[in-house]
Amino acid sequence: MSEASVEVSDVWPERHRGRVVLVTGGAGGLGGAAAERLAAEGAVVLVADLSIEEEHWGDEGARVRLDVTDQDQWVELRDRVLERYGRLDGLLVAHGAQGPEAPIEEVPYDGWRRTLSVNLDSVFLALHTVMGVMRQQRAGRVVLLASISGREGNASMSAYSASKAGVISLAKSVAKEVADSGIVVNAVAPSMFQTRLLDDLSPERNAMLLSRVPMGRVGHPSEFAALAAWLLSDECSYTTGQVFDLTGGRFSGA
């Protein structure tokens, strides 16, 4: 079955005009696709990624190197964003690490800790750092990248599943905290998507996971970008604390 795509005609060129949106993991994968979509819809997109070697700050956006596990770097980035652009309208947390693929008794503790640090602790740091800004603005849109693994768990992926379950709970908790401040917080829980994370899984696990997708294909990053663009827009005004499955029909009752 052919992959889905988002054509230029599907983009709403003015929907994010003038909005300042920070995207972590924005140098590629799901975050990269979302960053491109947001820019096409008029946003000032700030791409933050550990892989960025040369930083650039301009009127139409920025590219900055960020270690998402470093609190000092988060604070510095927030301050630079406010100094340059004066506000922060949206935050898309789209970075992540696959973590060890092994039975629980074979998972190294440092691998466990690293996975939770990248996938969960960093999300706390992001929210902890920027939420005060959005409260003062009394406006903001936040989208956190979770996973279907965080809703139902995957065997031999305990660290990844646990970290994404934490992201889901964090989204729900913070959404309740800021619901009366003009801020909405939601999570997206994808299943299999055409990103480099699939390359980190064994062929056997890829085949097993794909067999659980009724549509019979992996998702395309543009499909994630389309959902993220709506969740980060003013149109998403009465939906908060929710987890949006993006799974090709794979159902989780969790």
Closest by CA to 224, choosing from 84, 112, 125, 93, is 93
Closest by CA to 218, choosing from 207, 231, 232, 203, is 207
Beta strands in 68-129 (DSSP E): 90-93
Q: Which two tokens stand for residue 236?
A: 């998403």
CA 222, CA 228: separation in Å to the nearest integer?
Answer: 10
Q: To 10 degrees, what angle do helices 221-231 and 29-40 make?
A: 50
161 CB-contact burial (10 Å; exposed 0-12 / middle 13-18 / buried 19+): buried
**Catalytic residue set:** 160
Q: Give the CA angle between residues 202, 213, 102 to the nearest 5°.
A: 30
Q: Is 88 helix (H, G, I), strand (E, B) or coil?
A: coil
CA 214, CA 42: separation in Å to the nearest integer?
Answer: 35
Edge-first strand order for the sheet with 183-190 is 56-58, 61-65, 44-49, 20-24, 90-93, 140-145, 183-190, 243-246
